[in-house]
Amino acid sequence: MQENILVLGAGGQIGTELVETLRKKYSSARVVASDIKEEPAKTLLGEPFEVIDAMDRDRLEEIVAKYKITQVYHLVAMLSATAEKMPRKGWDLNMETLFHVLEMAREGKINKVFWPSSIAVFGPDTPRQNTPQHTVMNPTTVYGISKLSGELWCAYYHEKYGVDVRSLRYPGLISYKTLPGGGTTDYAVDIFHQAKARGQYECFLAEDTTLPMMYMPDAIKATIGIMEAPSEQVKIRTSYNLAALSFDPRTLAKAIQEHLPEFRINYVPDYRQAIARNWPGSIDDSAARTDWGWKPAFSLKDMVREMLANV
């Protein structure tokens, strides 16, 4: 079957790179990029591009019909740090937009959905090391609560209505093409920009805050990997644990210093430290590896080398 793909939130950190990869893989005309704002996404990504506020169900339906969309990658979200500042708005955005897409799938208007979850679904009661797929969750951030609720709704729509929705619990994502916005793991991107521009970085997390991380090419590979896997291999319909790297700011700074020996870092933890403290340090992603063959490619060294060469 000929797939027509719509990417919501295509101007974001994941979206920009996902659209590029999908357009190389399928034909460009079949991958529609959309964002709430026209620029810079439209110039960056090119056509086809549509402005969509994913809160607007009518607009979504209009674009799905216009391009005969079969698959939606829903990448719209308010991330952890921003959502703590506007809890209800974060909840409304993260949930309402998911329901729009799940409902359209239930009604047969689209037939496959990708929706990202996050390590933020875990909380202070979760085992921090090698966090299992199935474990105590109890997230404490609005973002985490919305992602965990969303996971359960995805599984519900799959169970009850046969909706083919697939999801990954992304770790912190590191990339150079588009900046992340409003996340707790954003330091691991900012640090490269500041290292190159100023030779120093003031880190908003404490030096020993270990978090699960991943270089963007691995995240894109996982995303397309789970979407292309035969349906019966996607056994978990909440969301899959996904892992690649695990490091703290001190370790990342040292890896940068191997290329830029003059680089200096100091630590001024802010409110985001309280968010990070309740998240896992490392993730057990064996279910994804077993079920649909996930395997990351990039080490910390590879990632640092590529980031410094490209930011």
Q: Which residues are catalytic?
A: 143
Q: Scanning the structure block, which residue is given the tokens 């790297």?
A: 245
Tokens of 212: 């699960």
Choice between 264 and 271, CB closer to ligand SER: 271
Closest distance between ligand SER and the C-beta of residue 162, in Å?
28
Residue closer to ligand SER, measured from CB, 14 or 64: 14
Residue nearest to ligand SER (CB): 183
- Closest approach, Cβ 277 to ligand SER, in A, equals 13
C-beta of 48 vs 90, nearer to ligand SER: 90
Which CB atom, from 190 or from 302, has the smaller least distance to ligand SER? 190
Q: Name the strands in the sheet holding 168-170, side by side, starting at the edge strand that comes first in the sequence.
A: 117-118, 168-170, 240-241
As given in the structure block, the two tokens for residue 292 are 């649909």
CB of 246 to ligand SER, least distance (A): 14
Q: In angstroms, give the least distance from the CB of 291 to ligand SER.
A: 22
The smaller minimum CB distance to ligand SER, of residues 4 and 239, is found at 239
The residues that touch ligand SER, with contacts defined as CB under 6 A, are 79-80, 118, 120, 143, 170, 172, 183-185
DSSP string, the chain: ----EEEETTTSHHHHHHHHHHHHHS-GGGEEEEESS-TTHHHHH-SSEEE--TT-HHHHHHHHHHTT--EEEE-----HHHHHHSHHHHHHHHHHHHHHHHHHHHTTS-SEEE--EEGGG--TTS-SSSB-SSS-----SHHHHHHHHHHHHHHHHHHHH---EE-EEE-EEE-SSS---S-STTHHHHHHHHHHHHSEEEESS-TT--EEEEEHHHHHHHHHHHHHS-GGG---SS-EE--SEEE-HHHHHHHHHTT-TT-EEEE---HHHHHHHTS-SSB--HHHHHHH-------HHHHHHHHHHH-
Of 4 and 94, CB closest to ligand SER: 94
